[in-house]
A and B are shown apart, each in its own frame.
Chain A
Amino acid sequence: MLSGNLLWVLMGTMLLGIAAGITGTFSFLQKQSLVGDAAAHAALPGIALAFLITGQKELPILMIGAALTSALSVYCIQWIVTYSKLKADAAIGLVLAVFFGIGIVLLTIVNRSPLGNQSGLNDFIFGKAATMTKADLTWLFISAAIIIIVSLLLYKEWKLMIFDPVYAKGIGLPIEALKACLTALIVMTIVTGIQAVGVILMSALLIIPAASAKLWTRRLSTMLIFSGITGGIAGLAGTFISSLRTGLSTGPIIVLFAATIFFISYLFSPKAGQLSKYIRKMKFRKQEKLS
């Protein structure tokens, strides 16, 4: 039943899920999750622009366009927060809407152009893993591997930088470079994931596995492993299901799977789960009655 190509696609989205689970954990702890959301939406104008300028729909070209506008959106958010009186939430909302709006306008222009009808750019909105070619998958494997390896190498530095930036700077860590590197890796994760998951829901793959993992552990190392596994399972299962029934976009199914894992964590995690909270409460009441 599993064709060779599907097998590769499944492995690709699984690896993507693992990478997103890892970088997502760092951005979650940095309280930058919503910046990732804006950056993902901001990939759309880049994709459309890359197509309009070059007339090609090769993935590397579209990915470069996506990376440029995505990184630009992060820069805009930081610029607004630094140089205006606006707070981060307003800046993120503003930048997300403007970039995505421009993206939709450009996409409409693409669709009206003679070449645009068959360009398949619309699939970047909700994602379609099944349309990935061997070449697309090669790119995905390479960049997911880079993301995972760099994250593991900088684990110790990012941990200290996020927990206590002042101390980190005090012992000579290059804080600005480390921050920029993390942002670059998150943009890279987004760009890697948009073909399979789509620009609208890509941020969910960064946020939900990290949020689920936070409920299970109080150690960063375990949190990263759990988050990576959650992302991997969601990517695998979501792609598999959407490949069974044609017509279903991959992104929403992946997100629904991740959300299911979050919901299970919310109810049943031994540390922060609702069930164990209820049991502890009951035990306490029983003891109070006995004494």
Chain B
Amino acid sequence: MRALEALVVQNLSVAYDKKRVLENANLIVPKGHLAAIIGPNGAGKSTFLKAVLNQLPNKVGEVEILGKAFSPKSLVVGYVPQRNAVDWDFPTTAFDVVLMGRYGSRGLMKRPTKHDKQLAMQALTSVGMEDYADRSIGQLSGGQQQRVFLARALAQNAEVYFLDEPFAGVDAATEKTIIDILKNLKAQGKSIFVVHHDLQTVKEYFDYTILLNKTILAAGKTEEVFTAEKLQQTYGGNLFMMQAL
């Protein structure tokens, strides 16, 4: 029955230098949701994502994606890192970055095929960046860079997507483009997890919400979880964005 779940996390803990960043996180998310991961700064959202994606050596606990322990080889997971995670001065074009999304299906030392290039171009077109294919990535604006990253994950044709703050530093038009693509993915039955900061838009964008602060505090349908009481518990003290509700 586990295969019906997009993500199952059991007793996940992570420590950096003795300091525990994530403690005993438990989570079960069914397939086919567009889920927001929200919580205050330093709550461990990015750490949670990296631990789920098996990027951290010092973690304990179990993670299953679509009923299987995480394995990069399966390629069912598409990851969109934070924009500042890479060197944008690197000599490469937008198309080349999207084509990297096909590397995983190619294997070591093999050149991308014509089919790979078609898929990459389709992905680039679907984020509205086809005219920028030959542009060097350093010349793109922040929003365009974010769309290229998203296109790379799309080219991978994954089943479960993880995005780390895709809306940070992008303009309203790009935010609209990205959220439309994510909603479209959800309509295709894919599962999407987004680390998100803007509480104002949670209800509008996401049908599922995960509240995180050192551990998973609550998770479920947005209308059930995104409540004043639970947010207060997550953010602590005086929550000033009550009007968001």
Partner of A171, one of B50, B86, B93, B103: B103
B91 touching A167, Cβ below 8 Å:
no
The reply to whether the CB of B87 lies closer than 8 angstroms to some CB of chain A is yes
What is the 8 Å Cβ interface bit string for chain B, positions 66-92, against chain A (1 contact, 0 not)?
000001110101010100011100111
Q: Which residues of B contact A163 (CB under 8 A)?
A: 86-87, 90, 92, 97, 100
Tell me the B88-114 residues at the A interface (CB within 8 Å).
90-93, 96-97, 100, 103-104, 106, 108-112
Asked if B138 is an interface residue, CB under 8 A from chain A, the answer is: yes
A218 and B109: CB pair below 8 A? no
Chain B proximity mask over A139-169: 1 for CB below 8 Å, otherwise 0: 0000000000000011011011011101101
Identify which of A29, A171, A173, A218 gathers the most chain B CB atoms within 10 Å of its CB: A171
Q: Are B111 and A170 in contact (CB under 8 A)?
A: no
Question: In the bound complex, what is the Cα–Cα distance between A206 and B86 (angstroms)?
Answer: 23
A214 contacts the other chain (CB 8 A)? yes
B108 touches A171 (CB 8 A): no
- 0/1 interface trace, chain A 190-221, chain B, CB 8 Å (1 if under): 00000000000000000000000010011110
Residues of A within 8 A of B138 (CB): 218
Q: Does B156 contact A (CB under 8 A)?
A: yes
Interface pair A218/B81, CB less than 8 Å apart? no
In the complex, the chain A residue whose C-beta lies closest to that of B70 is A170
Contacts of B50 in A (CB 8 A): 166
Interface residues of A in 242-269 (CB under 8 A from B): none
Number of A interface residues, CB 8 Å?
A: 23
User: Interface digits, B24-56 against A, CB 8 Å rule (1 contact, 0 not)?
Assistant: 000000000000000000000000001001010
Q: A214 with B91: in contact, given A153-B109, A163-B86 (CB under 8 Å)?
A: yes
* Contact status A219-B93, CB under 8 Å: yes
Q: Cβ of A186 < 8 Å from any Cβ of B?
A: no
Whether the pair B93, A218 counts as a contact (CB closer than 8 A) is yes
- Chain B residues whose CB sits within 8 angstroms of the CB of A167 once the complex forms: 79, 81, 100, 152
A172 at the interface (CB under 8 A from B): yes
Interface assignment of B222: CB less than 8 Å from any CB of chain A = no
- A-B contacts, 26 of them at CB < 8 A, read A29-B87, A153-B109, A156-B109, A156-B111, A156-B112, A157-B103, A159-B100, A160-B103, A162-B90, A164-B81, A164-B86, A166-B50, A167-B81, A167-B100, A167-B152, A169-B72, A170-B72, A172-B71, A172-B73, A172-B104, A214-B91, A217-B91, A218-B92, A218-B136, A219-B96, A220-B92
The 8 closest A-B pairs by CB, nearest first: A172-B72, A171-B104, A218-B136, A164-B86, A172-B73, A170-B79, A163-B90, A153-B109
Known A162-B90, A171-B103, A172-B72; 12 more pairs at CB < 8 Å: A156-B103, A156-B106, A156-B112, A157-B103, A160-B100, A163-B87, A163-B92, A166-B50, A166-B81, A167-B81, A172-B71, A219-B136
Q: Which residues of B contact A (CB under 8 A)?
A: 50, 53, 55, 71-73, 75, 77, 79, 81, 85-87, 90-93, 96-97, 100, 103-104, 106, 108-112, 136, 138, 152, 156
